[in-house]
Amino acid sequence: MSDKPKLAFYWCASCGGCEESVVDLAEDILMVAGAVDIIFWPVAMDFKKNDVEAMEDGSIFAAMINGAIRTSEQEEMARLIRRKSKVVIAYGSCAHMGGIPSLANEFTRSQIMEYMYQEAPSVVNPEKTRPMLSFKHNSQNVTLPEIRNLVRTLDQVIDVDYYLPGCPPTPKLLKQAVLTLLSGEFPPKGTVLSPDEALCEECPRKESKPSDLSFTHFYRPHEILIDKTKCLLSQGVVCMGPSTRAGCEALCISGNMPCSGCFGPTSRVRDQGAKMLSSLCSNISENDETGIDKILDGIPDPVGTFYRYGLATSLLRKKITEDV
């Protein structure tokens, strides 16, 4: 093997979009491929866990792990890669903040199992069969990873050096990140590799945003015809842009959809959803409870709206239940 820096990719609980985004580097991928050796990338290349285990600790220059941590296997792999790597980057919203998978933290594991293997309309399972951790079959012991009680962010399981935000991160940010790391100038540990301002900063509709925002009604995108030229918030569409890190260059807005927050909060905010809620509510036009409540009916699912990508990293992390 050459002595080019070794790069590893791994995926945990994720949709595959992040992997796709690496491929989206298009011709730049050649540039990256030229500069590094990709030594582990289950989705694209045929390496085995054993190969990684065989490596020396710390021998991987950087590992990009995407996906949230939901199973014992993912924990195990994350730990393994951590041990073998100098730098670990949480890649994409799920590794960064739990992502969409962490909305599962609104339910307990048993609720989820119950639904998936029994209640869901498409399921036929009269024996109420459930996956088992281990199962003897023809004297062979077959095992399955355990689904954990919580969906976790990568850094709730292992030490993480950097974060590449986004659902998925843009090729531009990935390229920048790789170049930065290769340059040897490491940003402070814990840095989110994206501008530390909110999205409005780079939004093409910023100029159309009025200074006297006052909400009389909130709409979900399918409820109104969205004017393609005007700031979404000014149209009453909940746009998470003001509380979301810039860096995506307002992708969703360019597609005439509100930002739903995948880049996560700025470094000064502990809880993206709380901040967005605070800002939106502060500018509601009513002063009495009934009036306020009526307007708020336009946000029927606050958890799903404000923590779409970040319930796992929110301050409460999950729905509070009597027992687990």
Subset of residues 209 to 228 that bind other proteins, contact rule: CB under 8 A? 209-214
Give Cα separations from 220 to 37, 106, 234, 249 (angstroms): 45, 21, 13, 22
> Helix, strand, coil proportions of the chain in percent (round to 5)?
35, 15, 45
DSSP conformation class of 24: T
Interface of this chain with ligand SF4, residues 2 to 41, rule: CB under 6 A: none
Q: Under the phi-then-psi rule, with left for phi > 0, alpha for psi from -120 to 50, and beta for the rest, what region is 181?
A: alpha
Q: Is the peptide bond before 195 cis (omega within 30 degrees of 0)?
A: no
**Closest distance to ligand SF4 from the beta carbon of 12 (Å):** 20
Number of residues this chain uses to bind ligand SF4 (CB under 6 A):
26
Of 95, 253, 295, 311, the residue at the interface with ligand SF4 (CB under 6 A) is 253
Give Cα separations from 275 to 14, 40, 139, 194, 222 (angstroms): 26, 38, 56, 19, 24
- Residue 176's DSSP bridge partners are none
In 3-state terms, what secondary structure has residue 40? strand
Interface of this chain with other proteins, residues 150 to 179, rule: CB under 8 A: 150, 157
76 contacts other proteins (rule: CB under 8 A): yes
200 contacts ligand SF4 (rule: CB under 6 A): yes
148 contacts other proteins (rule: CB under 8 A): yes
Q: Give the relative orientation of helices 28-35 and 171-183 as an angle to the nearest 10 degrees.
A: 30
198 contacts ligand SF4 (rule: CB under 6 A): yes
Interface of this chain with other proteins, residues 277 to 296, rule: CB under 8 A: 277-284, 286-289, 292-293, 296
Select from 66-74, 97-105, 211-219, 244-252 the region that touches ligand SF4 (CB under 6 A). 244-252
273 contacts ligand SF4 (rule: CB under 6 A): no
**Closest distance to ligand SF4 from the beta carbon of 303 (Å):** 16
200 contacts other proteins (rule: CB under 8 A): yes
Tokens of 125: 């399972």
CA angle 158, 150, 247 (to 5 degrees): 60
250 contacts ligand SF4 (rule: CB under 6 A): yes
Beta carbon nearer to other proteins, 124 or 320: 320
| Binding stretches for ligand SF4 (CB under 6 A) | 166-167, 198-200, 203, 205-206, 209, 231-233, 239, 241-242, 244, 248, 250-253, 259-263
